[in-house]
Structure 1
């Protein structure tokens, strides 16, 4: 059962209208148009600079933040792709995850502020994601590399890992996917029932966001919907999802398909928990972040 704090936060998020951001195709188009007129900031909070060294470079048009622990070499490396339906920028909750990894796991965390849809489409974005992953793996130093993504960022992360496997066979030490969105067709038959209890996400808006991200590619293309790609040869995976998340079906299907392909995979499914709960300030979120920190620490010893 979810904690009282989790129930209260889910109710508060629903009451404040957060679901309306993806309630309809029109809502998504309106949000994209507003962002084009007044782009949101992707800058890290100032408080992060008090505990980490932060630098920024550019990969093409992408600002890429490199966040490192102070006082010595990092023990592991993390490439983190943030969520937001492919149309929203990095937010404080994403940077809070970065802070936890830097401070508690002593990880170097590379955070791309990737181009958002409709300017950033899968055919352009996935190859750059693969390039960044390859570069981080090859950068050397102690420990291994963990590929982390949440929501739409998890889809980009998985597509990038598949692309890199097809290029060179190279993989990170582990792939961690938080409430992943892996199939933008939103066609799983169980999603209608889950959507009724989801306080944050709705299929009509997600379908539109997925269409914008797909660009000229079919929604079924594995670059857009990596759940429809192949899994043999991928790194071990850890997946988090909640039963009140319309995207829970993607995590479940990923577990089934990865294991069928011989890939080590584990699924943590939180009963009664909403989309993105590992990033929320609730007991279940803290427990999930503890597990992610543990996984990164394990990579440091790989």
Structure 2
């Protein structure tokens, strides 16, 4: 572990490095990294032979979207300098940070080889008209709490700013995106909107949707979760250079 620009940052380095990933953990912007995140990070490092950088970013009420985006972007640049080709990944709240970061890097001329999102929070207005239909099936997330957290996480930015709600960003010119989502997740409707926007912008997007699965199911110790983790590792391994 080292401190980078005020953040604790962990890097897991396998014996042979064939690329790198910056992984941004979820937790609703209020919870620290969990054992399930470390299991996935370890699998990526060991099985895909990738150096994985894991930032421990400040949470509400000490952190906000703009700082998280900009400092994550700096860590991606740092990873590229150290390890070469670098992927960006994140789950839930970390997925929001990851896609916002990919957009900012694209604007700065850095196009990532792939951005991998697990149940990402994409629109912090929570305004998708399909959310109320999904809400009764979701045992984990609820719109009222999500709106409260969004108000804190946005800081001084508008909720529609792509640094807060990346769904409102222009996707043109992004590298390929992979999204894992379950149908019992209130964030699932926005994943479909992202897929449509990506297709319109000419951005390759793979939507890995599993019926009946809940929020961040790839992190769970279930058959569906294990299958998704294998898919994540295999996709990164296949895309790694060398």
TM-score (norm 2): 0.97
In 1: Cα distance, 2:197 partner to 2:34 partner: 31
* 1:57 to 2:2 alignment: yes
CA distance in structure 2 between the aligned counterparts of 1:255 and 1:77, rounded to whole angstroms: 25
Q: Secondary structure at the match of 1:196?
A: helix
Asked if structure 2 preserves the Cα contact closer than 8 Å seen for 1:118 and 1:215, the reply is no
Q: Deviations over 1:159-217 (max 9, x none)?
A: 011111112x2122111000010111100000011011101110011111111100121
Instruction: Give the gaps of 5 or more residues in structure 2.
Output: none
Match of 2:11 among 45, 66, 69: 66
Aligned residue number for residue 12 of structure 1: none
SS in 1 for 2:137: coil
| Partner of residue 268 from structure 1, selected from 183, 192, 208 | 208
1:104 is the counterpart of 2:47: yes
**Structure 1 ranges of 4+ moved more than 4 A:** none
For residues 119 and 83 of structure 2, the distance between their equivalents in structure 1, rounded to whole angstroms, comes to: 29
- CA contact under 8 A between 2:19 and 2:83: conserved in structure 1? no
Q: In the alignment, which of 140, 144, 147 is matched to residue 204 of structure 1?
A: 144
SS of the counterpart of 1:85? coil
How far did residue 139 of structure 1 move?
A: 2.2
**Partner residue of 2:124 out of 167, 171, 184:** 184
2:64 is equivalent to residue 121 of structure 1: yes
- Native 8 Å contact 2:44 2:52 kept in 1: yes
Tell me the SS of whatever aligns to 1:301.
coil
Tell me how far apart the structure 2 counterparts of residues 225 and 159 of structure 1 sit (CA, whole Å): 8
CA contact (8 A) 2:87 2:115 kept: yes
Aligned partners of 1:301, 1:217: CA distance in 2, in Å? 37
Alignment partners' CA distance in 2, 1:59 and 1:256: 37
Q: Partners in 2 of 1:193 and 1:76 — Cα distance?
A: 41
Cα RMSD between the aligned structures? 1.2
The counterpart of 2:173, out of the listed 228, 233, 239, is: 233
How far apart, CA to CA, are the structure 1 residues paired with 2:21 and 2:76? 9
Q: 1:70-149 to 2 correspondence within 5 Å?
A: 72-141=15-84, 144-149=85-90
Q: CA deviation at 1:140?
A: 3.7
Offset at 1:256? 0.8
Q: Structure 2 CA distance, aligned partners of 1:208 and 1:180?
A: 17
Q: CA deviation at 1:118?
A: 2.0
Which residue of structure 2 lines up, in the alignment, with residue 255 of structure 1?
Answer: 195
What are the Cα deviations for residues 134-162 of structure 1, in whole angstroms up to 9, with x where unaligned?
22123245xx3211100010110010111
Once the two structures are superposed, what CA deviation does each residue of 1:90-116 show, in whole Å capped at 9, x if it has no partner?
Answer: 000111111111121121100000111
Q: Say if 2:124 and 2:147, in contact at 8 Å, map to a contact too.
A: yes
Specify the alignment match of 1:47 in structure 2: none
Structure 1: tracts of 5 or more residues without a match: 1-55
Alignment of structure 1 residues 11-50 onto 2, 5 Å: none
2:71 is paired with a residue of what secondary structure? Answer: helix
Distance 1:192 1:235 in 2: 32
Number of the residue aligned with 1:159: 100
Distance in 2, Cα, partners of 1:87 & 1:171 = 29
**Matching residue of 1:295:** 235
Q: Which structure has the larger Rg?
A: 1
